[in-house]
Structure 1
Amino acid sequence: MTSEAEIYDLKGLNCPLPVLKARKRLAGMAPGSLLWLETTDPLAVIDIPAFCTENGHRLVETQPQSGGHRFLVERGA
């Protein structure tokens, strides 16, 4: 499942840019599409899950990475 996911590099961006850019990118994707969001913003661990909940997307997986986090998001309907 994760092999079909696109990767969106949001490293170096601070709140609220990772969420704003993720929103725009996901809006252009088909429902059910998978997108890895790679961030270095420490607030992303709060912001990305909240964004998913508020916008009907599913947070599939979260992974810590060197200097940041990685989030696998499934676009909602």
Structure 2
Amino acid sequence: MSLDADAILDATGLNCPEPVMMLHNKVRDLAAGTLLKVIATDPSTRRDIPKFCLFLGHELVQQEEEAGTYLYWIRKKME
């Protein structure tokens, strides 16, 4: 199942900590309730992105893995 995202962050080819740093900057610029799709290739994002969401209060709506690409749908918390 794929969700329609309001914004996309492509972090393919980047390694830890760059995907989460980019995610932090991107989320800061989004409106509350926005659905962001993150595309990454670094396996450490499987650990880092859920922790990021939990720590900052964003909702990890869905995550998938497709042939070495990791997909995340994150809803920015309501402020």
TM-score, normalization by structure 1: 0.92
Residue aligning to 2:20: 19
Residue aligning to 2:65: 64
Q: C-alpha separation between the residues in 2 aligned to 1:4 and 1:13?
A: 21
Q: Identity, % of aligned pairs? A: 34
Unaligned runs of 5+ in 1: none
Matches within 5 A, 1:27-38: 27-38=28-39
Matched positions, count: 76
Q: C-alpha separation between the residues in 2 aligned to 1:7 and 1:57?
A: 16
Unaligned runs of 5+ in 2: none
Give CA deviations for 1:4-44 in whole Å, capped at 9, x if unaligned: 43221100000011000001000000010010000000100
Secondary structure of 2:12's aligned partner? coil
Secondary structure of 1:12's aligned partner? coil
Residue aligning to 2:74: 73
Q: C-alpha separation between the residues in 2 aligned to 1:69 and 1:59?
A: 13
How far 1:62 moved relative to its partner?
Answer: 0.3
TM-score, normalization by structure 2: 0.90
